[in-house]
Each structure stands twice: as C-alpha cells, then as structure tokens.
Structure 1
Amino acid sequence: MDSDKPEEWFKLAFDADDPEEKIEYFSLILEYENLDQELWSNEALALVWNNKGIALSFLGRDEEALECFMNSVRLNKNDVDVWCNMGIIHLNIGNHEAAIKCYNRILRLDPSNENAWVNKGDILSIMGMHNEAIECYSKVHKEIELDNKFAVVWNKKGLAYFGLGKYEDAVDCFNRVLKIDPEHIDAIENLKAAMSKAKQINEEISYPDSSCL
C-alpha cells in the first residue's frame, strides 16, 4: 500500500454521503498498521474515531457508536464535541446519569458551553428534576435575546415550570418565547395550557369546596 493511502481514505470518508461508506474508510485508517506518526497523532486518530461514531449513530448503531466515542476520548480527553456526542448516545439508550456526566465533563472544560447546559437541562427534565433543569436553562439566557435559539430555551424552561405546577412562571416563560417568535406553535399551545391551569387554581382558591367548611 502507498504511504499516502490513509490520507486518501480520510478525504474519501468526508466526501462520502453514505454512512456505511464513511465507516468503511474510517475503519481502514484505524486498522492500518504503518500510519505516519507525525501525521496521525492521537488528536488525529481521535477525530477518526469520532467521525466513525457519528456515521454509526446515523445508522442507529448506538452501542458501536458509543464505543467509538469512548476510544476517541481516550486519545483526546478535552474534545467537547466528542463528549457531547457521547451524551447524546447515552440519552438515546436511556443512560441518563451517564449522559449527565458527559455534559458535566464539558462544563468543566467550558463552563459557558450553551449546548451542554441545554442538553443537561433536557435530561434533568426527563428525569423529573425540574428545578435542576431550570437552573441549567437559566445559564443560557442573555441580556438581549432575539435569536430563536433563546426562544427554544425559554419554551423548555416553561415546560419545566409547568412540570413543577408553577403555572404563572410557565406563562411568563411562554410569553417570552412569543416576544422572540410570535408564531412559535408549541409556545402558543403551551401558553394556553398554562393559563388554563393557572386560572383553574385561582378559581379553586377563590371558591373553596364548601364540603371543607
């Protein structure tokens, strides 16, 4: 084999549209016994493992993808993208605690990483830990919020408040979504539900059950 073949495989893998084809080329690189150590550093090989894992995840082969990501972080422990990919796979297969550990690792490396805060918040919400989820979502808010990504976070935060039964706080969050994106369908429906619940509670407070008197 020519010494430059692994480099050719790397380019072919990136140019390929078919995940199976990508996996084949990345595997050839990882199985090649005479890699140029100057070109194929630990960081470079970590990138290959990561991209093979991504291709496997596209095919729904989560366990194999997870193994690739683990191989990647063994070679480069500080790549936040790989830790994020691991977190997504752990979530897919129901390993919520392991997913949170991945996002905690990212946040130790990059405390302002917005994706990690949001993803961690999503997992905490799934686990019913709504207060902790709200804390995560709050890390993402900025003084000026015009981007639609902030609308998404406010909607998630509103759902967490809804899960806690704090419907007026939920209403505030959904209203913030609609200030950014007035046509946000989920927020419109969520706002209606939260307002209905808040109204119901206020009516129960105003008109207590006479049987309790």
Structure 2
Amino acid sequence: MDSDTPEEWFKLAFDAEDPEEKIEYFSLILGHDDLDPELWSNEALALVWNNKGIALSFLGLYEEALECFKMSVRLNKSDVDVWCNMGVILFNTGNHEAAIKCYNRILRLDPTNENAWVNKGDILGVMGRHNEAIECYSKVHKEIELDNKFAVVWNKKGLAYFGLGKYEDAVDCFNRVLKIDPEHIDAIENMKAAMLKAKQINEEINYNIPRACKE
C-alpha cells in the first residue's frame, strides 16, 4: 500500500466496500505530506474528509465522523451535502438545535433544498414544534405530486397535525398519501387513528351540548 499514490488511494477508497478499508485509504491521503496542490485543492480535500466521515458514521463512530465533517466544511463552506451529513449526525446524537442550524445553513445556500426542509421538519417534530414542522413540510409540496417521496412528506405532515390534535387536518394529509400510494401501510394505520380521534372528539362535543329539558 505504501507504494501507491494518493490518487490511487482515492480510487481504492471509492471502490472498497468495507468502511474500515475506506477510512484507511482516506487517512493515508489526509496524512500525506507531499500532495500535488493542483490535484488536491481545498475542495478535493474537503471531499476526502466528507467521505471519511461517512465511512465512520457507518461504523457508528459519530463523534469521529462529526470531526471529519467539520474539517470538510472548513475547507469548503458551500457544500450542502456535508452540512446535511453533519445535521444527520447531530440529530442522531440528540443535538437537535445544532442540527437545525446545519439545515438553516443549507437553506441559506439553497432555499429549495427539499432534503433540508424535510430533515428540519423531522427534527422540529421530534422536539414537539409541530407548527414549525408543518411549515417545513409545506415547502416541499408541488402542484403535481405523483412521486412516492411526496407521499412520505404528506405522511409526516399528517403526523405533525396529529401531534397538534388537529385530527381532521391529519386525515386530509393521510388521504393525500393514499391518492399517491393506495397501499401505504403507515398512512392507512395513521388514517384509522386520526379518524378515531376525530370521531371521539365529535362525540364528546355532541354529548356536552345542552339539551332542552322535558316538560
């Protein structure tokens, strides 16, 4: 391996299936003292750091992965993929506010980035900030929604409404999911739960309506 060049290590790393092997090759590149500056620009090195971080995350080494992503964005602050990877790691380790900052950074660079809107919505939902989550999911919807990815977003939005106790709005969202994917198991079950909750509330309201006394 010592006789290989950094360029060969880069190719070997991408061809390798074992994350540990990838990490070994990427580490060799990053530890090399005589990289050709014409081939190894900041953007190229940022890519190496990012991919090393991805390999580390596959092994569950989240802290080490996060340090790699931080090194990557120091070299290339405009790479939205790295900010996204960092957001995922921060979310997985429970650092929700920091993860949201990563997605906000992406959205400043690319306000139409769908993954950032959805991931930010997911985090806000976990934090119980359902209204803000709904706003995020609403940024993803298009006039024509036939792709299954839109079904996923409508399902998430329905769950956010469910969390707010707005069960009829939730039912409407789950209906939209089933128009796209009639066999969407989660949406079917979520629809049943939302309809049951809406029915219970309506029954309670009707029960508590004052009735005229009998003479």
Assess same fold via TM > 0.5.
yes
Structure 2 match to 1:189: 189
Q: Residue type of the partner of 2:127?
A: M
Question: Identity of paired residues, percent?
Answer: 87
Q: How does 1:129-144 map to 2 (within 5 A)?
A: 129-144=129-144
Q: Does 2:120 match 1:120?
A: yes
Q: How does 1:4-83 map to 2 (within 5 A)?
A: 5-83=5-83
Structure 2 gaps of 5+ residues are 211-215
Instruction: Give the 3-state SS of the residue equivalent to 2:146 in structure 1.
Output: coil
Instruction: Give the 3-state SS of the residue equivalent to 1:207 in structure 2.
Output: helix
Give the distance between the partners of 2:71 and 2:132, measured in 1 at CA. Answer: 31
Deviations 1:139-158 (A, max 9, x none): 00000000000000000000
Q: Residue type of the partner of 1:73?
A: V
Instruction: Give the 3-state SS of the residue equivalent to 1:20 in structure 2.
Output: helix
Q: Residue type of the partner of 2:171?
A: V
Deviation at 1:208, TM superposition (A): 1.2
Q: Residue type of the partner of 1:23?
A: I
Deviations 1:31-90 (A, max 9, x none): 000000000000000000000000000000000000000000000000000000000000
Give the distance between the partners of 1:54 and 1:153, measured in 2 at CA. Answer: 25
Deviation at 1:209, TM superposition (A): 8.2
Segments ≥4 residues shifted beyond 6 Å: none
Give the distance between the partners of 2:70 and 2:128, measured in 1 at CA. Answer: 28
Structure 1 gaps of 5+ residues are none
Q: What value does the CA root-mean-square deviation take over the aligned residues?
A: 1.1
TM-score, normalised by the number of residues in structure 2: 0.96
Give the distance between the partners of 2:55 and 2:208, measured in 1 at CA. Answer: 59
TM-score, normalised by the number of residues in structure 1: 0.96
Q: Does 2:204 match 1:208?
A: no
